[in-house]
C-alpha cells in the first residue's frame, strides 16, 4: 500500500526521463563493467607483474599533483577575480577559461615544440648568441612536464565552476569577513576554500578524469599510466578482453570514489536561500597588491594560452596555404554542427537528471546520477567499443528482422552524437548540479506551494536562477566535443571530418606544423563560444 503510494507520487516525468536517460548511458558501459568480473586470461599475470605496479604509481602521482595544483590555481584565480578589482580583471573573467580551448595533447606538442632543440628558444640562443644549452634543462617530456601541461590546460574547469559559485553565493559571508578585518589570505583559506568545497571538488574531479583518460599527452611524453596499460594490452598484446577488464577496474574505482565523496558529504548543504542574492562587489585593489594580482593572472594566462597560441600561429604561417579549400569550410561546419547538437542534448539530459536527483529524497536518487560520470572516467577508445557493440547490435537486430535494408544507426552521425552524450554528460552535469546546489530547494518548494508543479516551477523559477550554470555546462561540453578525438575517429560516419580529426591526422604523423591550422580553428571557435557565454552572464 504504502510503497505504491510512494512510487506513484515520485513518478513524475522528470523521474521517468531521468531513469530512461540513465539507462541509455548505462547500456554501453555495462559491458565494460561486467568485463571486470570476467576470468583473467593468460596475459593477466604478465600485465599485473610488468605493467600495473609502476603504471598505477605514475597515475597516482599525476592525479594527486594535477588535482592539487589545479585546485589551487583554479580556485585562487576564481577568488581573486570574484573579490577584487584590478587591471584587465574583466577580460580575465572569461580569458582564463580560454586554455580549455587548447586540446592538451596539442598543448603538449606545442610546448615541446617551443622548448626542444629546434624550438624557438634554443634556436634563438644558438643562432643569435651561439649558445648551445644542456638538453637536460630544456626537457619537458617528463613527469613534472606532464603535470605542468595538464594543470595549465585543465585548471579552467576548477576556475569556471568555482567562480560561478563565488560570484553569486557568498556575498554576505565574505563581506562580513571583510568587515571583521580578515586579510585576503585568511578569507581565502578560512572561508572561500571550505565554502566553495563542492564546486572545487566538482571542478577537480573533471580535471582528474581528463587526466586519467588521456592518452595523447602521456604517450608523447613517455609517461606510463594506467591508460598506457590499457592500450598496451589492447594494441600491443592484441588482448581487448583484458584491456576492457582494466578499464572496468578503473571505472569501478572512480565510481567508488565518487560515491564515497557523495556519502561523506551526506546531508551537509552549502546553499543559502536568502533573498539577498546579490553579486559580490569586487573591492578595488591598490598599490602593490593590485599589481601582484594582475601579474599572477597575466602569468597564468600567458603560460596557458598566449605562448602556445602564438607558437601555433607561427607554425600555421608556415603551412596555411594547403588548407584553403572548400573542404575546410565543410569541416568547420561539421565540427560546429555536431558539437552544438550533442552539447544541447547533453545539457537537457543533465538538467533533467540533476533536477530529479535534487528534488528526491533518498540515497538512490543521489547516487544514481553518478553513473553519468562513467563515460568520462575511462579512455574514449574503450567507451567506443561499448558504443559500437550496442549500436551494431541494434542495427543487426533491425536488419535481421528486415526493418531496415542496411545498418542505419551505426552508419549515421547518430552513433557519434550518442557517444558524445555518454562521454560528456558528466561535464555539463557537474556544472549544472553545482548550480542547483547553490540555489538549494526552497525556491522550488515555494513555487510548488504556490500551485506550480515541478516542471512549471523549473521553467519559471529554477531555470532563471541557474541560467549561468546551465550555459556554463553547455559551453564546457561544447568545447570538449570540439576537441574530442578517440570517439570521433572511430565512430564517425564515412567521409566525416572534424577539426579535431584533421589536427590529429597531422599530429599523429609528427607534423605539428600542419596540425596548427585546425588547432587554431578549434581554439578560435571555442574562444567565441566562451566569450558569448561570458557576455550572457554579464548581462544578468
Run of H or E including 446: helix 442-449
Q: What stretch of H or E contains 218?
A: helix 216-221
Q: Distance between CA atoms of 195 and 204, rounded to whole angstroms? A: 15
Stretch that binds other proteins, among 67-75, 249-257, 285-293, 392-400 (CB under 8 A): 392-400
- Residue in 2, 128, 183, 402 binding other proteins, rule: CB under 8 A: 2
Q: Which three cell numbers stand for residue 21?
A: 536517460
Which range of residues in 80-88, 89-97, 229-237, 521-529 is near other proteins by CB under 8 A?
229-237
| Cell matching residue 413 | 552521425
CB nearer other proteins, residue 63 or residue 108: 108
Best CA proximity match to 104, nearest among 62, 61, 52: 62
Least distance to other proteins, CB of residue 178, Å: 19
Beta carbons of 461 and 447 less than 8 angstroms apart: yes
Q: What is the 3-state secondary structure (H, E, C) of 362-377?
A: CHHHHHHHHHHHHHHH
Taking every pair of C-alpha atoms in the chain, what is the biggest distance, in angstroms? 87
State the nearest-atom distance from the C-beta of 478 to other proteins, in Å. 12
For residue 38, state whether it binds other proteins (rule: CB under 8 A): no
* Close Cβ partners of 70 (under 8 Å, ≥ 6 residues apart): 150, 151, 154, 155, 157, 158, 203, 204, 207
182 binds other proteins (CB under 8 A): no
Tell me the three state secondary structure of residue 228: helix
Instruction: Give the interface segment with other proteins, choosing from 31-39, 76-84, 300-308, 455-463 (CB under 8 A).
Output: 455-463
Site for other proteins contains 490 (CB under 8 A): yes
- How far is Cα 240 from Cα 238, in angstroms, rounded to an integer? 6
Min dist CB 171 to other proteins, Å, is: 10
Does the footprint of other proteins cover residue 463 (CB under 8 A)? yes
Site for other proteins in 93-122 (CB under 8 A): 112, 116-118, 122
Work out whether 51 is an interface residue with other proteins (CB under 8 A).
yes
Q: Which stretch binds other proteins (CB under 8 A): 284-292, 342-350, 368-376, 519-527?
A: 342-350
Residue 380 Cα distances to 239, 447, 498, angstroms: 17, 41, 17
Q: Indicate the residue among 90 and 123 with the shorter CB distance to other proteins.
A: 123
Residue 412 touching other proteins (CB under 8 A): yes
Cα separation, 88 vs 91, whole angstroms: 5
13 binds other proteins (CB under 8 A): no
Q: Which range, of 15-23, 65-73, 269-277, 290-298, touches other proteins by CB under 8 A?
A: 269-277
Which distant-in-sequence residues (6+ apart) come within 8 Å of 190 by Cβ? 177, 182
C-alpha dihedral over 102, 107, 110, 116, to 10 degrees? 170
- C-beta atoms surrounding 103 within 10 Å: 29
Among 59, 410, 431, 498, binds other proteins (CB under 8 A): 410
Nearer to other proteins, 427 or 439 (CB): 439
Task: Pick the piece of the chain touching other proteins (CB under 8 A) from 77-85, 284-292, 300-308, 344-352.
Answer: 344-352
Q: Should residue 348 be labelled a site residue for other proteins when binding is judged by CB under 8 A?
A: yes
Map residues 233-252 to x or -, x wherever contact with other proteins holds by CB under 8 A.
-xxxxxxx------------
Told to check if 31 binds other proteins by CB under 8 A, we report no
Segment interacting with other proteins (CB under 8 A) among 31-39, 253-261, 295-303, 355-363: 355-363
CB atoms < 10 A from the CB of 311, how many? 20
From the CB of 53, what's the least distance to other proteins, in Å? 11
> Using CA atoms, how far apart are residues 234 and 243, in angstroms rounded to an integer?
5
Interface with other proteins, residue 445, by CB under 8 A = yes
CA distance 301 to 196: 23
Residue of 152, 143, 427, 157 lying closest to 309 (CA atoms): 152
Q: To the nearest whole angstrom, how small is the minimum distance from the Cβ of residue 4 to other proteins?
A: 7
20 binds other proteins per the rule CB under 8 A: no
Determine the Cα–Cα distance for residues 202 and 199; give it in Å rounded to an integer: 5
Does 538 help bind other proteins (rule: CB under 8 A)? no
State phi, psi for 84 to the nearest 5 degrees: -130, 155
Stretch that binds other proteins, among 72-80, 86-94, 445-453, 526-534 (CB under 8 A): 445-453
The only residue of 114, 230, 381, 520 in contact with other proteins, by rule CB under 8 A: 381
Q: Which helix (H) or strand (E) holds 84?
A: strand 84-85
Closest CB to other proteins among residues 253, 388? 388
Residue 126 C-beta: closest distance to other proteins, Å: 9
DSSP string, 465-488: HTHHHHHHHHHHHHHHHHH--HHH
Q: Which residues in the 491-520 window bind other proteins by CB under 8 A?
A: 492-496, 501, 504-506, 508-511, 513
Binding to other proteins by residue 310, rule CB under 8 A?
no
State the Cα–Cα distance between residues 470 and 53, nearest whole angstrom: 41
Out of 41, 142, 295, 330, the only residue in the binding site for other proteins (CB under 8 A) is 142
Amino acid at each position: 500500500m504504502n510503497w505504491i503510494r510512494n512510487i506513484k507520487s515520485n513518478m513524475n516525468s522528470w523521474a521517468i526521463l531521468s531513469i530512461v536517460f540513465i539507462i541509455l548511458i548505462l547500456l554501453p558501459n555495462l559491458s565494460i563493467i561486467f568485463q571486470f568480473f570476467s576470468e583473467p586470461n593468460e596475459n593477466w599475470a604478465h600485465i599485473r607483474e610488468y605493467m600495473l605496479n609502476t603504471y598505477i604509481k605514475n597515475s597516482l602521482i599525476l592525479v594527486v599533483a594535477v588535482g592539487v595544483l589545479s585546485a589551487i590555481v583554479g580556485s585562487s584565480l576564481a577568488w581573486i577575480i570574484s573579490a577584487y578589482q584590478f587591471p584587465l580583471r574583466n577580460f580575465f573573467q572569461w580569458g582564463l577559461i580560454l586554455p580549455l580551448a587548447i586540446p592538451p595533447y596539442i598543448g603538449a606538442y606545442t610546448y615541446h615544440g617551443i622548448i626542444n632543440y629546434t624550438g624557438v628558444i634554443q634556436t634563438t640562443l644558438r643562432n643569435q648568441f651561439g649558445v648551445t644549452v644542456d638538453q637536460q634543462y630544456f626537457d619537458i617530456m617528463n613527469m613534472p612536464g606532464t603535470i605542468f601541461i595538464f594543470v595549465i590546460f585543465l585548471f579552467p574547469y576548477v576556475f569556471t565552476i568555482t567562480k560561478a559559485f563565488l560570484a553569486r553565493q557568498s556575498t554576505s559571508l565574505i563581506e562580513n569577513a571583510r568587515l571583521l578585518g580578515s586579510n585576503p589570505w585568511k578569507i581565502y583559506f578560512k572561508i572561500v576554500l571550505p565554502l566553495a568545497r563542492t564546486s572545487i571538488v566538482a571542478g577537480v574531479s573533471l580535471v582528474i578524469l581528463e587526466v586519467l583518460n588521456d592518452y595523447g599527452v602521456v604517450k608523447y611524453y613517455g609517461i606510463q599510466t594506467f591508460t598506457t596499460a590499457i592500450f598496451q594490452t589492447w594494441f600491443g598484446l592484441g588482448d581487448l578482453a583484458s584491456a576492457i577488464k582494466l578499464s572496468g577496474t578503473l571505472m569501478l574505482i572512480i565510481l567508488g570514489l565518487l560515491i564515497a565523496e557523495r556519502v561523506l558529504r551526506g546531508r551537509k548543504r552549502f546553499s543559502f536561500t536568502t533573498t539577498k542574492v546579490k553579486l559580490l562587489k569586487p573591492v578595488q585593489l591598490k598599490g602593490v597588491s593590485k599589481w601582484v594580482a594582475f601579474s599572477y593572472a597575466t602569468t597564468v594566462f600567458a603560460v596557458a594560452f598566449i605562448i602556445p597560441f602564438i607558437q601555433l600561429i607561427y607554425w600555421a604561417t608556415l603551412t596555411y596555404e594547403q588548407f584553403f579549400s572548400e573542404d575546410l569550410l565543410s569541416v568547420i561546419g561539421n565540427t560546429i554542427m555536431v558539437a552544438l547538437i550533442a552539447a544541447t542534448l547533453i545539457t537537457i539530459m543533465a538538467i533533467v537528471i540533476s533536477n530529479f536527483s535534487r528534488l528526491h529524497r533518498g540515497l538512490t536518487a543521489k547516487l544514481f546520477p553518478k553513473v553519468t560520470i562513467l563515460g568520462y572516467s575511462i579512455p574514449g577508445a574503450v567507451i567506443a567499443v561499448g558504443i559500437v557493440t550496442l549500436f551494431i547490435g541494434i542495427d543487426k537486430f533491425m536488419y535481421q528482422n528486415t526493418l531496415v535494408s542496411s545498418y542505419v544507426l551505426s552508419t549515421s552521425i547518430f552513433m557519434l552524437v550518442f557517444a558524445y552524450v555518454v562521454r560528456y554528460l558528466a561535464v555539463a552535469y557537474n556544472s549544472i548540479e553545482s548550480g542547483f546546489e547553490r540555489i538549494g530547494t526552497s525556491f522550488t518548494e515555494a513555487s510548488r506551494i504556490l500551485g506550480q508543479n515541478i516542471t512549471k516551477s523549473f521553467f519559471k523559477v529554477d531555470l532563471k536562477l541557474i541560467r549561468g550554470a546551465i550555459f556554463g555546462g553547455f559551453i564546457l561540453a561544447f568545447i570538449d566535443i570540439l576537441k574530442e578525438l578517440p570517439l570521433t575517429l572511430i565512430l564517425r560516419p564515412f567521409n566525416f571530418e572534424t577539426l579535431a580529426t584533421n589536427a590529429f591526422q597531422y599530429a599523429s604523423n609528427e607534423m605539428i606544423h600542419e596540425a596548427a591550422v585546425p588547432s587554431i580553428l578549434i581554439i578560435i571557435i571555442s574562444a567565441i563560444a566562451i566569450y558569448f557565454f561570458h557576455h550572457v552572464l554579464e548581462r544578468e
